[in-house]
Structure formats: C-alpha cells, structure tokens
C-alpha cells in the first residue's frame, strides 16, 4: 500500500506538509491585507521564527516535515511541470498575450527556488526588471501586483486534504486563494515524492470551473473507521461536500460522511477553528458555535457514486455511532465567556493532534490549555503571537499526508 494514507485525525502523525511564510508576508500592507484575507500585517521575521518552532516541535515528535516551497522548487526542475504551471498561472487571458509571454520568459530564467518564492510570495510591477512592449506596465502603479502574494498558503490544510487512501485537491472559495490549488496540482502530479505513488485524486484535479462546488480542508475531519466529518462553512458548500462524498464512495474509501452546518462567521471560518479531534472519544469544541441545534446530515453511497442524504439528529450522537464509542468527551474552550471568545479567536480549539492525547497548540491560550491538561491531554506549546494573527492554529498550518488510522 502507498504510504500516502491518512486514516484519522488522531493516529500517529508521520508526514506533514507545511509552508514557512516569508515573501508573501513581506508584501502584506495595511491597504492590501483585507483583500488578501488577512486581518493584520505580521512581522515577517517573528512569524518565521514561530513557524520554525512549530516545525521543530513536529520533528521532535518524529514527524517528517515537508516544506511547500522546497516541493514546488523541486517540481519546477521538471520541464513539463514548469511549462504547465507557468502557462496556467501566467495565462494570456489574465495578462494579455504580450505581457504574459514577457513575464513567463523572465520567470523561466530564474532558479527553481527563486521561481517558487515568486509564485508563492508575489511579484509587483516595481520588482519586474524587464521592459515589456505591452500596455500593462504603463497602466499600473509600481506597487500593483503582477502576481499577487499568497499569504494564506501558510494554511496548507485547506488547499488539499488527504482522506484515507487519496487526496482532494480543493477548489477554493475565495479568489485570493484559488491560485494555490494549481501549485498542489503540479506537486502531486510531478514531484518525485508523489509521481510514482499509487493514490487516488478524489476531486478538484481537473482544470475546470467548479462554480459553487467549493471545499476547503479546514472543514474536513477524517474521523477514522471509514467516517468523515465535514463542516459546511462560508468556504465549503453542500455542493462541494456531495462531490467529495460521491468520489469517496465511488473509490470505496469511506462508508459515511457526516455533514454539519456552521454559521458563516469569520471567527469560525472552518470547522477546525471550533472543533478538533484529540483522542478517540475526545474533541475540543467551542460551544457557542458547536451547539446542540447545529443541523446535521448523514451521507452514504456506493461505488456507482450515488449519494443518499438524510438529515440526522444531534451531531455528537452521529459521531459516537460512527466511531463506535459510548460517549464523547467534549472539552470546551477555557475561561469565562470573554476569555473563551478571545481564545477561540486565537485558535485555542485549532490544535494538531500528533498522536492520541498529544496536541500542538499556541501557548497563549492558557485557560484552554489548562483544561486540556486537566483532562489528561498533553499540550506541546508553540509561540503564536504573530502566526496567530493570520487566524489559524497548528491544525490549519499542517496538511498530514501520512497518518495512522485508529
């Protein structure tokens, strides 16, 4: 069997894809950060140091860490991959025939590592050292972007997610993130780590307009035992859930998808910002959002790809049944209602489980971390004063590609 397999949220984590934010953060300014889906401007150096602490914590736990920029640079060493990605990301439809050609020629001459840095981190008109014959340069300010930075690539969880024996290469909901998907398409298709391996691409690999069928990995929790929990948030639609479910059933990789409705708030942008799996019978939840009256559906199907949908009762009961446990233990966000709201905003619930009962989380969430500790959960604390301002915790910043089942 291919080692590319994610059997749960809590089994031993073995290999993970992360992205150290550098160039993209240096392009963030108070005037453009909202457009780029960031609430704030981060200190580039400090964010990098905090990310290094995160990856070191993973390595200390025996997890192999793959860096997105390195994977992309390695992929660019393959001529076919480089041609495909440059023609996809720097298309004539987006830039005009003359300018697209000039920019592609400039990029093609860079080293693979420099090229990867620009594709991930952006390129402004002032940073383009060539004079193009096209009208584009004359019509733009020097601070306008030719290639917009992708600061949200920091959250590798969203752009693709591994579910049992395959990957969903996710069509992203927001324009500011849609280019990320092509980087993952190229890596999974051509990079030597993936190219020769036997794994399924469930959804999103084709170059087409997915319209309203969007899905992001922060909403997808691999419960284990053939079950998957998916939150329908502002980024993941019922249409996207059905498409992924159909493909999972078609390939015989899942038995049931539990889909739950989330409010469309920035604070609970994805399911994993309000709920994560910590050990077999234990979840971390933010009760203000993950409450009894959350609507919930069960999706089942067969290898024809047909999907049966039926509304089900309390989501906790549905999870207990799927996991075969008597009673779930829900650890709620710590502190009084003010402290809990602050800590949820700072990703207290967005922890990354490295093995049952051991999680990585931001050290600043003292009240919630204390509750984990009292419940017998070991918290491996990481600094997050800068990284956390991007609105994502350890789970958001990690895309497991190899993890044991339960």
Q: Of 175, 173, 290, 294, which Cα lies nearest the Cα of 235?
A: 173
Instruction: Give yes or no for residue 278 having a pLDDT over 80.
Output: yes
Same domain, yes or no, for 26 and 112?
no
Same domain, yes or no: 167 and 34: yes
Pairing of strands 220-224, 227-232: antiparallel
The answer to whether residues 126 and 260 belong to one domain is no
> Are 205 and 349 members of one domain?
yes
- 140: buried, middle or exposed (CB in 10 Å: 19+, 13-18, 0-12)? middle
Q: How far apart are the first and last CA of the chain?
A: 17
Domain identity same for 338 and 381? yes
The Cα–Cα gap between 59 and 342 comes to: 29
Count: domains in the chain: 2
pLDDT in tens, 64-108: 999 999 999 999 999 999 999 999 999 999 999 999 999 999 999
The one-character DSSP state at 164 is B
Domain shared by 80 and 189, yes or no: no
Q: Where are the beta strands (DSSP E) in 185-306?
A: 200-203, 220-224, 227-232, 256-261, 275-279, 282-285, 296-301
> 251 and 390: one domain?
yes
Query: Residue 327 phi/psi, 5° resolution?
Result: -150, 130
Is residue 161 part of the annotated active site? The answer reads no
Q: pLDDT at position 396, please?
A: 93
Instruction: Report CA dihedral (123, 127, 130, 134) to the nearest 10 degrees.
Output: 60
Q: What is the mean pLDDT of residues 211-236?
A: 95
Task: State which residues form the domain around 114.
Answer: 71-147
57 and 82 inside one domain: no
CATH of the domain at 188: 3.75.10.10
Question: Which of these three, 91, 122, 147, is where a domain ends?
Answer: 147
Q: What is the pTM of this model?
A: 0.93
Instruction: Please say whether the beta carbons of 370 and 292 come within 8 A.
Output: no
The CATH number of whichever domain residue 113 belongs to comes to: 1.10.3930.10
Same domain, residue pair 75 and 215: no
Which letter does DSSP use for residue 273 in this model? G
Per the document, the length of the chain is 406
Residue where a domain terminates, one of 91, 126, 147:
147
**Cα-to-chain-centroid distance, residue 28:** 20
Lowest mean pLDDT among 31-40, 254-263, 375-384, 395-404: 31-40
Comparing CA positions, the residue from 154, 184, 179 lying closest to residue 168 is 184
DSSP state string for 306-326:
-EEEEEES-HHHHHHHHHT-S
Domain identity same for 175 and 311: yes
User: 96, 124, 147 — which closes off a domain?
Assistant: 147
- The DSSP code sequence of 287-311 is TTTS-TT--EEEEEE-TT--EEEEE
Q: What is the number of other CB atoms lying within 10 angstroms of the CB of residue 213?
A: 18
Average pLDDT on 132-160 reads: 90
Q: Answer yes or no: do 103 and 177 share one domain.
A: no
Euclidean distance between CA atoms 11 and 202, whole angstroms: 22
SS3 23: helix
For 380, the 3-state DSSP assignment is strand
**Mean pLDDT confidence for 251-273:** 86
Which of the following is catalytic: 33, 268, 396, 399? 396
**What mean pLDDT is predicted for residues 40-56?**
85
Is the domain of 92 the same as that of 229?
no
Model confidence band, residue 40 (pLDDT cutoffs 50, 70, 90):
low
């Amino acid at each position: 069997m291919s080692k590319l397999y994610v059997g749960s949220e809590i089994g031993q984590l073995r290999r993970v894809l992360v992205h150290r934010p550098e160039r993209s953060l240096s392009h963030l300014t108070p005037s453009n950060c909202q457009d780029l889906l960031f609430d704030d401007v981060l200190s580039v150096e400090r964010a990098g140091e905090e990310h290094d602490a995160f990856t070191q914590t993973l390595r200390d736990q025996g997890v192999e860490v793959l860096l997105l920029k390195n994977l992309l640079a390695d992929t660019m060493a393959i001529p076919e991959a480089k041609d495909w990605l440059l023609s996809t990301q720097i298309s004539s439809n987006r830039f005009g025939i003359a300018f697209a050609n000039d920019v592609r020629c400039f990029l093609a001459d860079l080293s693979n590592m420099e090229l990867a840095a620009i594709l991930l981190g952006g390129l402004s008109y002032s940073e383009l050292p060539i004079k193009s014959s096209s009208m584009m340069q004359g019509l733009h300010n020097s601070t306008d972007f030719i290639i917009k930075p992708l600061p949200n690539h920091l959250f590798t969880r969203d752009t693709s997610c591994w579910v049992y024996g395959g990957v969903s290469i996710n069509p992203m909901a927001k324009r500011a993130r849609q280019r990320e998907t092509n980087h993952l398409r190229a890596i999974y298709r051509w990079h030597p780590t993936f190219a020769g391996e036997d794994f399924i691409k469930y959804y999103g690999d084709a170059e087409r307009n997915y319209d309203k069928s969007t899905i992001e990995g922060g909403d997808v929790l691999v419960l284990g035992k053939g079950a998957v929990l998916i939150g329908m948030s502002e980024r993941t639609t019922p249409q996207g859930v059905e498409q992924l479910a159909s493909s999972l059933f078609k390939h015989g990789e899942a038995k049931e998808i539990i889909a739950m409705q989330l409010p469309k708030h920035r604070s609970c942008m994805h399911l994993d910002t309000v709920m994560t799996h910590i050990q077999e019978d234990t979840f971390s939840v933010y009760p203000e959002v993950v409450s009894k009256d959350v609507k919930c559906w069960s999706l089942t199907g067969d290898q024809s790809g047909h999907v049966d949908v039926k509304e089900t009762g309390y989501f906790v009961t549905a999870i207990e049944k799927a996991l075969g446990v008597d009673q779930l233990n829900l650890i709620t966000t710590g502190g009084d209602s003010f402290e809990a709201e602050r800590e949820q905003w700072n990703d207290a619930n967005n922890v990354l489980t490295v093995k049952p009962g051991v999680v990585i989380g931001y050290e600043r969430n003292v009240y919630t971390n204390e509750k984990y500790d009292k419940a017998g959960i070991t918290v491996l604390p990481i600094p997050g004063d800068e990284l956390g301002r991007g609105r994502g915790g350890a789970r958001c910043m990690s895309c497991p590609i190899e993890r044991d089942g339960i």
